[in-house]
Amino acid sequence: MKLIITFLISYASLAGITPNRESLYNCVNYDNSKEVEGATIYKSNYGSSKEFYEIEVKTLKYGRQSSYFKKVNLVSKYDGKIQSYTTGSFRIKIDKVRKGIDGNFWAFARLPKHEIHSMDWSCKSSSKGYLQEKLSKASCIENICLGDDVMDNFGWSGFVQDLNVEERIVFVKMPRDGSIHEFPFEDMGKRSECFANYCEEEFAYYRGNEKVEIVSLYTNDMARIWSPSAQLMYITNIKFLTK
C-alpha cells in the first residue's frame, strides 16, 4: 500500500498536477547578499492521498522573482518544538523555543544550491488557526480600525494589536504570491500631512521589494491600501477611536 501511495504521488508530480497546499510557515532570509529572499513550508496532498511536505524557495535575481518547490521530510523533536524539513543536505530547521529575528521562530537554513548555510533566518506560523487566533484578539492599532471586510473580500487583514502581550503588529497578504507576512509595528514608516480640506496619515510597510501603503483619509473616514508592485488598491471604511 505504501508503495502504491508513493507511486501515485510521483506520477502526479511528473504529470504536472498541482497538489493541495496548506501553508505552515513563512520564512525570511535576512542576508541580503543572497538571491534567496525566503521560503514557505507547506503540508500538501493529492486529494485523499497521504500528506507530505514541500518547501517553496523564493529567489530574486537581476530584479526577477521566481520560485521552485522541493519535497521534504519532517523530522520533529520535543513534541514539535524543534522541526526540521529536510532531504538530508537541504533543510530548514525551526526552533520554537529560541527567539528569532523580529520575535519570530529561530531558524537555520541549509540550501546547497544557493550556497546558504545560515542562521540569518526566522520563520513564523502561517496556518489559518494561528492567524484567526491573533485576529480575534483585536483589530485596531493606535486610533484606527480597518473595516472587517478587508480580510474577507480583499485579503488584507489590517491592523492587529495583541491585547494580552501588548504586541503591535500588522498582517499583510502579499498579492504577488498570496503569502501572509507579519510586520512589527516598529518597521512602519509614518507620514502625516494636512491640505486645505483634509488631512492624510500614511503608514508604509516594507518586506523585500514589496511595499504596502495604508493611507487614512481623516475627513471621509476611509482608508486606501496600495501595493505598487502588484498595482492593486483597495478602499475600506475605518473607524476612529477616542484615546
Q: Which residue has the higher pLDDT, 169 or 193?
A: 193
CB 39, CB 70: distance < 8 Å? no
Mean pLDDT, rounded, for 17-24: 85
Q: Which helix (H) or strand (E) holds 132?
A: helix 128-137
pTM above 0.75, yes or no: no
Query: Which residues, at least 6 apart from 188, have a Cβ–Cβ distance to it below 8 Å?
Result: 170, 203, 204, 205
pLDDT confidence of residue 237: 41
pLDDT confidence of residue 168: 42
Pairing of strands 140-141, 116-125: unpaired
Q: Is residue 68 very low, low, confident or very high in pLDDT (cuts 50, 70, 90)?
A: very high
Candidate from 9-18, 78-87, 161-170, 200-209 with smallest mean pLDDT:
161-170
The model's pLDDT over 102-155, given as tens digits with 9 standing for 90+, comes to: 768 899 999 999 999 999 999 988 755 454 444 444 344 433 344 443 333 333
Query: Which residues, at least 6 apart from 108, have a Cβ–Cβ distance to it below 8 Å?
Result: 91, 92, 93, 95, 118, 119, 121
CA distance 189 to 191: 7
Percent of the chain with pLDDT over 90: 25
Task: Kindly tell me if the per-residue pLDDT of 239 is higher than 70.
Answer: no
Residue located via cell numbers 521552485: 68
pLDDT confidence of residue 144: 39
